[in-house]
Amino acid sequence: MKTYSISDVAKELNLTVYTLRYYDKEGLLPFVERTDSGRRLFKENDIEALKVIECLKSTGMPIKEIKSFIDWCGDGDATLQQRYNMFIERKATVEAQLAELNKTMEVIEHKCWYYKTALEAGTEDIHKDDKIEV
């Protein structure tokens, strides 16, 4: 079975070796094995797990909570319900983030228009009577 060094994995996932060691220190990578001399040996599956960790991180989940999930994974079928609940919760979080980001996009697009027209007019004064300005 193919294995990867810590710097291989760092390159593959666009992380630093520091970050990977930090994750390990925080208990996110209990499944990563070691060589006899103590070097980390990543397997394909470990990289997939790290992708899930990165996915959870991108939802804004703090590392301590991700650790709970990783711990549950090690506990087997008894924790299936917790893990399911966690992903349902994450789904709601991401839905809220998408809604918020879409609202943000609307404001940004309004501002693009605001400055485009101001630029064409040579002055911001053309928006003097608008509702929103800065």
Partner DNA sequence: TTAATCCTTAGAGTTAACTCTAGGTCAAGC
Partner DNA sequence: GCTTGACCTAGAGTTAACTCTAAGGATTAA
Q: Which residues bind its own copies (CB under 8 A)?
A: 45, 48-49, 51-52, 55, 58-59, 70, 73, 76-77, 80-81, 83-84, 87-88, 90-91, 94-95, 97-98, 100-102, 104-105, 107-109, 111-112, 115-116, 118-119, 122-124, 132-134
- CA dihedral of 1, 16, 34, 69, whole degrees rounded to 10: -90
Calpha distance 72→56 (Å, rounded) = 15
Of 34-42, 90-98, 102-110, 125-133, the window that binds DNA (rule: CB under 7 A) is 34-42
Task: Report how far residue 76's alpha carbon sits from residue 100's, in angstroms, rounded to the nearest whole number.
Answer: 36
Q: What is the DSSP letter of 76?
A: G
Measured from the CB atom, the residue of 41 and 92 that comes closer to its own copies is 92
